[in-house]
Structure 1
């Protein structure tokens, strides 16, 4: 599935929207991005793995992913679905309290029919403005988005709980809590009373990733946050997130992000200067 909205964001836009329908279109592995995502399911049923939780999503429900949350979407075999999404940068959110509320955690929102229809209408309006060649369409998208976010923030306490924890979600929770430590396959399998073979197989089935790949993604997300929030050296940050040497950190960082840590940090600095 081609994620056109992500290309729009990569082109420097602050808001991007897209509607897609499909069947058996499951994400290959968890990913994350530096902006928010609202994913509204128009029909069908989907599952979302977000960090160490799994959520189910039904027609008329939506989920919000804050920046840097690892997530991927999948569905049951041969079950068609249709969704509309909006990506938006934190800088587009006008009200600080709304930004704080939405940044706390991912969550599924199960509104009543009237409220859900209101959300759906605003999402459609945002998508329409994106394709409209008339003037001020970017400003209109921003205004519609902030109206939508206020509606959501007012009912943030209505977020649905994730599915009951399974053995795999317990393992994911452990990895997120101990990602900076030296975690070996043997130690992890022993901790959860599993054979290394079974653990690797089930972990791959749920995340489509190896354990070391998943740990490295968590570490790189943490490093990116530290780049944004602190002035600490890259060497210090690489050690804090769990890498034994900065050379290995640089190699893994570039393989995941597509650029070196120093270039990524400079990119954040430039964005702050320009107010993007």
Structure 2
């Protein structure tokens, strides 16, 4: 069971990043999930993935494909690693590429051995250039590059057996996706397991089991993770009073909110805001 879950509500429909070495590590210390598909390419070194309670070891020239709304984290197993990670949403894909998603992500995660690294690295390097240099028509070009990358991934999957393959029930994954979307859109309201059961015509026990099996945490843990993620954003980006934030993110009891917030962050909302404000001032002074 994940003791802490970070939920990304990032608005970008496409994101790509390159990182190398332990000093620049952006590994997730806690379990994490997001509404994006993820492709992780390890150029050098070794990393450990923990996905839905399963362990996967990625080595040089291996690629991990992770579906959206899947609980996962990474651990550095070699401080000299280099990696490229990209995330994208359905809305960024060309319509013709939608059919590839089922093969690439529904029966995953897939950890694949890349036999011809040059093909994949060339595409990814061009993606990085287009993403960060912001040339004219970059979005369109990135869509075409993503299309090429997905087709190469599909060929790779068909040409080999996944190094490690966790089977997943397609209907079950579609159902948990719908529930997660429902929660993400209504977390500020009074959402209970009973309400979710009535909405999706399921027994509460079935939903609890589905959450545990699919994302590794309970319904309540996930709901709290979404709410606390939004609370952290409001504490950092607004001057709203804490009791206002408490209600804004869906809590009716101020003391309960403080207890949950401290459980997730290790500090009170006041201390968190003070810490983030100090960081911001330091950054501004350096700039």
Instruction: Please confirm whether the aligned pair reaches a TM-score higher than 0.5, indicating the same fold.
Output: yes
Contact 1:250 1:260 in 2 (8 A): no
Q: 1:161 to 1:136 in 2, by over 3 A?
A: same
Q: Is residue 2:207 matched to residue 1:241?
A: yes
Show the 5 A alignment for 1:1-276: 10=10, 12-23=11-22, 25=25, 26-76=27-77, 79-94=79-94, 95-104=97-106, 105-112=108-115, 114=116, 116-157=117-158, 158-162=160-164, 223-225=179-181, 234-235=191-192, 236-237=195-196, 239=204, 241-242=207-208, 251=224, 253-255=226-228, 258=231, 260=249
How many residue pairs get aligned? The number is: 195
**CA RMSD after TM alignment:** 3.9
Structure 1: gaps spanning 5 or more residues: 1-5, 166-172, 178-219, 262-276
What SS is found at the alignment partner of 1:62? Answer: strand
Structure 2: gaps spanning 5 or more residues: 1-6, 170-175, 185-189, 198-203, 210-218, 232-247, 251-287
Post-superposition shift, 1:253?
4.6
Contact 1:14 1:92 in 2 (8 A): yes
Q: Structure 2 CA distance, aligned partners of 1:149 and 1:71? A: 21
Contact 1:54 1:162 in 2 (8 A): no
Q: 1:248 to 1:89 in 2, by over 3 A?
A: closer
| TM-score normalised per structure 1 | 0.59
| TM-score normalised per structure 2 | 0.57
What SS is found at the alignment partner of 2:32? Answer: coil
Q: 1:146 to 1:16 in 2, by over 3 A?
A: same
Q: Structure 2 CA distance, aligned partners of 1:22 and 1:38? A: 19
